[in-house]
Amino acid sequence: MMKYTKIPNTDIKVSKICLGSMTWGNQNTEAEGHSQMDYAIDQGVNFIDTAELYPVPATAEMSGRTSKIIGTWLKKTGNRDKVVLASKIAGGGDYTAHIRTTGFSSNAIKEAIDLELERLQTDYIDLFQLHWPERDTNRFGVRNYKLDTKWEDNFKEVLHSLETEIKAGRIRNIGISNENSWGTMRYLEESKQHNLPRVATIQNAYSMLTRTFETDLAEVALRENVGLLAYSPMAFGVLSGKYIKGNASDEARLKLFPRFARYSSEQSTEAAKRYLKIAEDNNMTLAQMSLAFVNQQPFVTSTIIGATKLEQLKENIGSIGVTLSDEVLTQINEVHNVIPNPAT
């Protein structure tokens, strides 16, 4: 049975499992995306996450295609009132220059929302997120921090722009993504000092291979009541065990897009092998254990799952019924202590 919580500081009830969509329109057809949403809704999932950037890998040709698939499903089913919709404005950089080069300016935010509302065939978005910081900082596993001396502080201006959209009724709440502790606290500080909209959620990578959120952001999340929407809890499928066992299909994500190597290092593979043994010793699949581990964290509002096959989706959603014992958690932490954050 599905479990629910609320987006922090709101009355919006969301399922602890959030349906991710970034493969729809590339690895998945429109019909497959519709089937996934049909199944998820039947299982009690009411939370769907998308972005103007999707599907991934991002290209000018495909930009926004994922949200269009959600939009046609909403129109066909009339399920808008049953779904909490989350989307994102793309961060800056060469990777997103095909979308726009104006960062999080007020015009950029307005344009992003205009286009998403059109694609989604709705008149409001429940949670609108900044996909990654506008300033150049460590994200997506990058290390060795270097100060961005060209960026000018614009936290207050961004929040003012988002406030305008909230007052217009086009978005209901705001979130951040791929952000660090300093950026999160700066948004919270500006909100408090200037009575501006408050960040409700942060969407960052979190899995047994990437637990850096625990180092300082977990405390921020719990003390400031900012909920983590954990993405890549399966580490691009590495924590399904299919790559370790050698039974990944040719359509598997890391086979199609080998440049996404964050979770494919020697250390990540070794850690995944050890986690697989723990799962099998305790009569679970690695996927179930991996997702249950994320679901149980006190700072997690919802775990974002994605699947290219309906069978995978069924297993992933089913993880909500799995509770890891203290003994299993201890075994997981023992591996983590030996191979900490191999996919940082």
Active site residue 263: no
Q: How far apart are CA 201 and CA 224, in angstroms?
A: 10
CA distance readout (Å), 130 to 56, 89, 251, 263, 298: 17, 5, 30, 24, 23
Question: Which DSSP string do the residues of 20-35 spell out, in sequence order?
Answer: E-TTBTTTB-HHHHHH
**Catalytic residue among 54, 206, 231, 263, which?**
54
Tally of CB atoms within 10 A around 311: 9
Q: How far apart are CA 236 and CA 46, in angstroms?
A: 23
Q: Which residues does residue 18 pair with via DSSP β-bridges, in sequence order?
A: 304
Beta strands at 84-89 and 47-49: parallel, antiparallel or unpaired = parallel
Nearest to 242 by CA among 190, 309, 178: 309
| Alpha helices, H only, 78-126 | 106-120
Where b means 16+ CB within 10 Å and e means fewer, 232-260 reads: bbbbbbbbbbbbbeeebeeebbbeeeeee
What would the 3-class secondary structure string for 143-159 be? CCCCCCCCCCCCHHHHH
Nearest to 59 by CA among 95, 113, 92: 95
Residues 6+ apart with CB under 8 A from 3: 15, 16, 295, 320
Active site residues per annotation: 54
